[in-house]
Structure 1
């Protein structure tokens, strides 16, 4: 049975929100490329380091609002809710006190290869 792009994306968001790096790694290609406001990172270890930083700093929940698949690519409208676990002196130029929540509307473009995500481009919507 072939895994569809929509299935991969659903698995990705479930894994992302689980706060389990091993579960997340299972849906990512070893050479995954992540492009975001923080820059470009390549490779699974770098992606997981960024993820661990995010889930240590925040309760980080990404909720897909709409997934549009086209071949091996998905474009996703995302609501990203970040709740600070402790005071955060600087995140995207903002200060957050412990317990404060920041909500971001994002657009993600994902490329899937062999049932795993190989490229991620995230930007503010």
Structure 2
């Protein structure tokens, strides 16, 4: 794992291409957020497909610290609604409305793919 790999991941994430994104995840990847734990590539991509169907979701790594097979990333995540939404994270959105989140991602890599990802809200 290195800076170029992590930047490539975010570039791919921002491309809204689930098929291209899939290659970054090990088949047994564990993905943890405040909403719970997801196991495996298919459910992660299902969530991603939903997000990009209702938002332009652009993640920008503000800083990337790599130690061996682990990366800690400070992330600015900007959501722009593509359509009206009654409830996303307790808020309603009209088309074009935005939400900015500051996140901290911890990524563990095995054999060139993510084996474990944890995303937390980060108050800076």
Partner of 1:42: 39
Question: What is the RMSD computed on CA atoms of the aligned residues?
Answer: 0.9
- Tell me the TM-score normalized by structure 2: 0.94
Deviates more, 1:69-78 or 1:33-42: 33-42
Query: How big is the shift at 1:44?
Result: 0.3
Partner of 1:94: 91
Partner of 1:53: 50
Once residues 103 and 59 of structure 1 are traced to their aligned partners in structure 2, the CA distance between those partners, rounded to angstroms, is 12
Unaligned 5+ runs, structure 2: none
Deviation above 3 Å: which 4+ runs of structure 1? none
Matched, 1:119 2:116: yes
For residues 67-118 of structure 1, give each alpha carbon's deviation from its aligned partner in whole angstroms, at most 9, with x where no partner exists: 0001110000000000001011111111111110000000000001111111
Unaligned 5+ runs, structure 1: none
- Tell me the TM-score normalized by structure 1: 0.94
For residues 17-71 of structure 1, give each alpha carbon's deviation from its aligned partner in whole angstroms, at most 9, with x where no partner exists: 0100111011111111111122110000000001001100100000000000011
Partner of 1:83: 80
Q: How many residues align?
A: 122
Matched, 1:19 2:20: no
Once residues 52 and 31 of structure 2 are traced to their aligned partners in structure 1, the CA distance between those partners, rounded to angstroms, is 17
